[in-house]
Amino acid sequence: MKRFILVAVAGLMLLASPVMAKEGLYVGAYVLPSIDVSEDSGDGYGFRAGFGVNRYFAVEGSYEKGDLDKSGDFTGMALDLKVNFPLTSLDRNNVMSLEPFVRLGYAEYEDDADNSGSGPHFGIGIELYLFQELSVSAGWSRTVADFDGNDERIKVIDLGLNYHFR
């Protein structure tokens, strides 16, 4: 039993160990070259802010503004748990150069006609660290939002630039 507790504590210490540029606040901006909502499409932009808990987990909030071809403008906000999967190390300072991720959370959207909907949010992507503080990212996300009893599937592709405070 003592051995199990020792291994569990050591594992938790490793999980919570600090890694530069992975813990703490980060902010970013991104473009949305492709937005698909049911039978409508468009483009837009967004902003994100997050807090890296450790090397593998972060909590991230985002705001998106889009222009759909048929429906006009819409805004969206999401709150996600981001799970990182570090693959490679760039240098001896443990800068992660390539890092796939998964986002799981909840999003809410509203259009020009004051119709709003919310629902579960899921996303995948990859982040490339250029420096410890600067990364570029590409991602895809999907939200199934309930707009007054109608389920709308919102699919978004984003390309962004992120700054990680040290």
> From CA 139, how far away is CA 105, in angstroms rounded?
15
Task: Specify the number of domains making up the chain.
Answer: 1
Residue 93: predicted pLDDT: 60
What pTM, to 2 d.p., does this model score?
0.80
Segment 16-43 shows an average pLDDT of: 80
Read off the CATH number of the domain in which 70 is found.
2.40.160.20
> From CA 65, how far away is CA 44, in angstroms rounded?
6
Where in the sequence is the domain holding 12, given as residue range(s)? Answer: 2-164
Tokens of 23: 């813990």
> From CA 139, how far away is CA 103, in angstroms rounded?
10
pLDDT confidence band for 89 (50 / 70 / 90): low
Tell me the Cα Rg of the chain. Answer: 18
Residue 95 has pLDDT above 70, yes or no: no
Between 15 and 40, the higher pLDDT residue: 40
pLDDT confidence band for 21 (50 / 70 / 90): very low
- Say if residues 121 and 140 touch (Cβ distance below 8 Å): no
Between 164 and 16, the higher pLDDT residue: 164
- Say if residues 147 and 115 touch (Cβ distance below 8 Å): yes
pLDDT confidence band for 90 (50 / 70 / 90): low
Residue 55: predicted pLDDT: 84
